[in-house]
Amino acid sequence: MEVVPLASVEEVARLGADVVEAAVRGGAGVLGLATGSTPLPTYRELIGRHLDGIGPSYDGVRCFTLDEYVGLPAGHPESYRATIARELTDPLGIPADRVHGPDPDPAGLPTAGERYEAALRAAGGVDVQVLGIGSDGHLAFNEPGSSLASLTRLKTLTEETRRDNARFFGSLDEVPRHVLTQGLGTILRSRHLLLLATGPGKAAALAAAVEGPLTASCPASVLQLHPHVTVLCDPSAAAGLERRDHYREVYAAKPAWQGL
Ligand code: PGA
């Protein structure tokens, strides 16, 4: 795992955008997209470069979201389908039929996980997966206790996550209890994982994920099993990392040819 402690949220956004753009320029055809607040500065950076005409071509790129709420009316602005279109894919000019997410239609829930896994496989798998981390260590909506080998399925959110996400809704009561989420085993199949962590609320979870034991009690610790993980974090999110000085030295001494 490559952990890169950076000086600011803006620097996380710039490097995050560099990683995504380098992959697209290098032929990556499938992007995995996280929602939530953390990736937004990176997405704005990508959009800004695209509008300035200095981004890569997104022609042919397909996108898969990590997860989706269950129980929201179709087209709800906080559904992840609507969110990712608004925050990234529409401004990048990626048409809706190339942006995929788990299908929360109540009638199809029993098969929604399998169908999403099949769609991911048919697309050839995710080249770069953007990830955030929950304050409880969740990855996508895999809450503590999730199988480290899990695949896309229906999950129930913890109270902590519902409270964290209540800011996007009118009240806590409006936050759905159920979600469809890629499993931890699904996420591990992506070829490159890009974890973004910013803000003091992520410090404990990030330290547990990166330096703690591999355990379902901290789902993001499953990243330790993946051969190509890049963690970009700001000073407040990095505050709990015991080896952060070492990570800085490693990054400073990194051969230019390696890239991220
Ligand atoms: P956030 O959520 O980026 O809104 O903090 C991250 C997550 O829940 O995975």
**Model confidence at 255: pLDDT above 90:** yes
Distance from the alpha carbon of residue 78 to the mean position of ligand 1, in angstroms: 14
pLDDT at 91: 98
CB 134 less than 6 A from any atom of ligand 1 = yes
What would the pLDDT profile of 29-57 be if each residue is shown by its tens digit?
Answer: 999 999 999 999 999 999 999 999 999 99
Q: In which band, very low, low, confident or very high, does the pLDDT at 74 lie, cut at 50, 70 and 90?
A: confident
pLDDT value of residue 57: 97
- Domain coordinates in residue numbering, the chain: 2-7+21-65+73-258
- Exposed/middle/buried for 234, CB within 10 Å: 0-12, 13-18, 19+? buried
Q: Predicted confidence band at 259 (pLDDT cuts at 50, 70, 90)?
A: confident
Instruction: For ligand 1, say whether the CB of 36 is within 6 Å of any of its atoms.
Output: yes
Is the CB of residue 132 below 6 angstroms from any atom belonging to ligand 1?
A: yes
Query: Atom 7 in ligand 1: which residue has the minimum CA distance?
Result: 134
CATH number for the region 2-7+21-65+73-258 comes to 3.40.50.1360
Rounded to two decimals, the pTM is 0.97
In percent, the amount of the chain with pLDDT more than 90 equals 96
